[in-house]
Structure 1
């Protein structure tokens, strides 16, 4: 005779097998949730990747200002003509001076706040698309700014995130961030181009 082990593992009287079945059902329901199915179809981001993105993004946002400034410094290295659009720091040449410039930090923080809103709510496709299109359209007022300028931020953004996250920035993480930032920037391009069309008519 052996001791009979109780199969009840929680206060509701469910057995371990029943709890596992419930967990599997919940996971299946979440995976098949129309919101996440739509997100994967539109962006190519799965629910698991979304969770990974949101978790790592919190690490980026802890150093929001530094990451944003680094992103702009990298942008100006590859697209020096864009710096001329910012009269507050267009004449600064050294990276140290740029990093210490309050105007650049303020602008970088503003941009990072927009990216934060988009990435944090990226599972709400319609809301994020509307916000990004409006943000893109708002750049019509800047003389000399072209919609393609948005796309120039992609690689500097990825590099700045990589610097910020360090060893936490894996190949898998990079592929997720590439999908997210490409969607964000392309939507802003579309918003500005639509605004330019409307302005011309």
Structure 2
């Protein structure tokens, strides 16, 4: 069984295939099988149910409407628990006031950039291969930042969960917390792996 919404994604894929003329001689069936297989792979790899994946994607819509605020809140909490990371950002490393940080345009822009990556991953989380590739490339791109370590990605986990909880309020149930934990752990760990692979390749 594929994750819920597989049928809808199949329809979307089939519609796209019709526009490009790629359907014919079994093309429709192949397209539908491909979409359902991708969704099933996510459920298997992450150890979650189709219902949980569907719930996550629905819940994330509340975050999408508040991307900037959620992102800034996430980074404020990250800097509280890992103050040394703020020193990597020249534009606001000397700011100490939370109000000044919230009002800082550079922080807002960076937070939005990070949230956009998370949005891409969660929005397409039922396509395991696509999301894994994107996240690994994102992780690898951080090799260029001097002093940045792959483990730094993992520090975002708790600040992210806390920020999501604030944004969603009562909608952040115990069940939603469990699936958000699975999702963010998968996302961050994949970026870690992407950066570590890039470092190995750079060293050879």
Q: Same fold (TM over 0.5)?
A: yes
Of the three residues 23, 41, 54, the one matched with 2:44 is 41
Post-superposition Cα deviations, 1:40-97, rounded to whole Å, max 9, x if no partner, equal: 2101121111111011100011010000000000000000000000000000001100
Instruction: Mark the structure with the bigger radius of gyration.
Output: 1
Q: Are the counterparts in 1 of residues 39 and 127 from structure 2 also a CA contact under 8 Å?
A: no
Of the three residues 148, 158, 161, the one matched with 1:158 is 161
Matches within 5 A, 1:78-89: 78-89=81-92
Query: What residue number does 2:190 align with?
Result: 187
Query: Shift in Å at residue 39 of structure 1?
Result: 1.7
Of the three residues 42, 56, 62, the one matched with 2:59 is 56
Query: Shift in Å at residue 34 of structure 1?
Result: 3.4
* Mapped partners of 1:154, 1:194: distance in 2: 21
Q: Does 1:72 align with 2:75?
A: yes
Q: Are the counterparts in 1 of residues 38 and 129 from structure 2 also a CA contact under 8 Å?
A: no
Query: What residue number does 1:121 align with?
Result: 124
* Mapped partners of 2:203, 2:97: distance in 1: 40
Root mean square deviation of aligned Cα: 1.5
How many residues get paired? Answer: 173
Query: What residue number does 1:21 align with?
Result: none
Q: Are the counterparts in 2 of residues 39 and 46 from structure 1 also a CA contact under 8 Å?
A: no
Q: Are the counterparts in 2 of residues 36 and 46 from structure 1 also a CA contact under 8 Å?
A: no
Q: Does 1:105 align with 2:108?
A: yes
